[in-house]
C-alpha cells in the first residue's frame, strides 16, 4: 500500500512540474503583452485570470502532496533502500520545481516592473490628453472672447 502512496507522491510532483511549465508560459505571454503597443488590458487580464487558475491548481497539488507525505514519511525513512529509485526521482523533481519556482519569481518581478511602466505611460497619456483638451478649451474661450469684442 505504501508503494502506491509513494507512486502518488511522484505523480503529484510531476503534475506540479507541468503546472509550473504552464505558469512559465503564461509569464512569457505576459511579457509579450506588456511590450505590445497599444497595450491590451483585456488580454492581460485574461492571461492573469488563467494564471490564477494555474496557481490555484498548484496550491491544491501542494496540499495533497503534503498530506500524503505526512502519511508515508515514517515508512519512507525506515525503508529508504526499498524506495531508493522513487526517492531519487522525487528529489530530482523537487530540484526542477525549485529551479522553476525561482525563475517564475524573477519573471514575476520583471513583469511587475514592466506593468508599472505601462501604467505610468497610460497615466502620462491621460494627463497629456487632458492638457490638450484644456489648451483647446482655453484657446476656444480666447477666440470667443476676441470675437465678442
Q: Would you list the DSSP string of 25-89?
A: HHHHHHHHHHH-SS--HHHHHHHHHHHHHHHHHHHHHHHHHHHHHHHHHHHHHHTTTTTHHHHHH
Phi, psi of 103 (to 5 degrees): -60, -45
In a domain, 56, yes or no: yes
Is residue 51 one of the residues assigned to a domain?
A: yes
Question: Using one digit for the tens of pLDDT, what is the confidence trace for 14-31?
Answer: 999 999 999 999 999 999
- Asked if pLDDT for residue 61 goes beyond 80, the answer is yes
CATH of residue 83's domain is 1.20.58
Task: Please state, in angstroms and rounded to a whole number, the distance separating the CA atoms of residues 125 and 138.
Answer: 20
More confident residue, 121 or 100: 100
Give pLDDT, residue 26: 97
Given this model, what pLDDT does residue 109 score?
A: 94
Within-domain flag for 32: yes
Single pTM value for the model:
0.81
Does residue 11 fall inside a structural domain? yes
User: How many structural domains comprise the chain?
Assistant: 1
Domain, as residue range, for 60:
2-111
Kindly state whether residue 141 falls inside one of the protein's structural domains: no
126: in domain? no
More confident residue, 137 or 101: 101
Map grid coordinates 497539488 to a residue.
61
Indicate whether 16 belongs to any domain: yes
- Report the alpha-carbon distance of residue 8 to residue 6 in Å, rounded: 5
Determine the distance from the C-alpha atom of residue 39 to the mean position of all C-alpha atoms in its chain, rounded to a whole number. Answer: 18
Amino acid at each position: 500500500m505504501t508503494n502506491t502512496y509513494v507512486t502518488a507522491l511522484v505523480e503529484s510532483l510531476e503534475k506540479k512540474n507541468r503546472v509550473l511549465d504552464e505558469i512559465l508560459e503564461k509569464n512569457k505571454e505576459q511579457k509579450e503583452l506588456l511590450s505590445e503597443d497599444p497595450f491590451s488590458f483585456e488580454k492581460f487580464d485574461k492571461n492573469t485570470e488563467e494564471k490564477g487558475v494555474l496557481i490555484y491548481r498548484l496550491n491544491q497539488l501542494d496540499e495533497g502532496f503534503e498530506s500524503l507525505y505526512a502519511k508515508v514519511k515514517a515508512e519512507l525513512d525506515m525503508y529508504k533502500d526499498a524506495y531508493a529509485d522513487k526517492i531519487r526521482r522525487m528529489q530530482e523533481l523537487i530540484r526542477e520545481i525549485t529551479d522553476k519556482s525561482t525563475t517564475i519569481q524573477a519573471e514575476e518581478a520583471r513583469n511587475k516592473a514592466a506593468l508599472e511602466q505601462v501604467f505610468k505611460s497610460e497615466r502620462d497619456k491621460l494627463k497629456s490628453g487632458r492638457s490638450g483638451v484644456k489648451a483647446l478649451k482655453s484657446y476656444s474661450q480666447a477666440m470667443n472672447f476676441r470675437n465678442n469684442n
